[in-house]
């Protein structure tokens, strides 16, 4: 589990950079035309990530909870794939952002490769959350999770603003 936590910390850090640099600073997605669907997808994914990132540094998801965690992880993957399609429909991604997304996909795969074997063991345990403290990485993940949650709320609110009419 320790390796999975460190990889998750790398993943969360890459995601924070992607959001702050590309989405907020460079592209200002929350203020863009025709980004409502993308922002909604980002918000839902952020809420999934906030749960994953905030919890895994401190607890294991045992028994039936393992399946809930698996559903959240699967939902995140499906949302990310939909986001890729949506991005390509509404905007041209800068090369750096495209590369960042590819790198994040690779790191997420590594995270899952280390997490899934633990999850296979957790599913056999009684249904409960068990303490699993991972020190400094757990606290750093908690800070990032708070930022991810706030980003999700911001994207959700921005996705509800009136959309500009399409240009003819």
- Residue 7, in any domain of the structure: yes
Number of Cβ atoms within 10 Å of the Cβ of 47: 21
- Residue 168, in any domain of the structure: no
| Tally of domains in the chain | 1
9 close to 107: Cβ distance less than 8 angstroms? no
- Distance CA(137)–CA(134), nearest Å, equals 6
- Residue 166, in any domain of the structure: no
- pLDDT category at 168 given cuts 50, 70, 90 is very low
- Distance CA(123)–CA(60), nearest Å, equals 10
Residue 25's nearest CA partner among 102, 107, 96, 108 is 96
- pLDDT category at 72 given cuts 50, 70, 90 is very high
18-70 residue pLDDT tens: 999 998 999 888 888 788 999 999 999 999 999 999 999 999 999 999 999 99
Residue range 83-107: average pLDDT?
Answer: 94
Q: Domain containing 85: what range?
A: 2-159
- Residue 86 token pair: 């949506």
């Amino acid at each position: 589990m320790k390796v999975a936590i460190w990889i998750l910390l790398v993943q969360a850090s890459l995601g924070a950079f992607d959001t702050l640099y590309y989405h907020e600073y460079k592209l200002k997605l929350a203020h863009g035309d025709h980004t409502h669907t993308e922002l909604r997808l980002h918000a839902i994914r952020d809420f999934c990530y906030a749960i994953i990132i905030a919890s895994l540094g401190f607890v294991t998801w045992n028994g039936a909870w393992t399946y809930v965690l698996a559903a959240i992880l699967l939902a995140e993957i499906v949302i990310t794939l939909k986001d890729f399609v949506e991005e390509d429909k509404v905007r041209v991604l800068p090369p750096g952002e495209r590369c960042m997304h590819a790198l994040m996909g690779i790191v997420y795969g590594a995270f899952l490769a280390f997490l899934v074997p633990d999850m296979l063991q957790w599913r056999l345990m009684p249904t409960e959350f068990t303490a699993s403290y991972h020190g400094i990485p757990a606290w750093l993940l908690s800070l990032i999770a708070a930022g991810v949650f706030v980003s999700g709320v911001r994207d959700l609110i921005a996705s509800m603003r009136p959309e500009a009419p399409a240009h003819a």
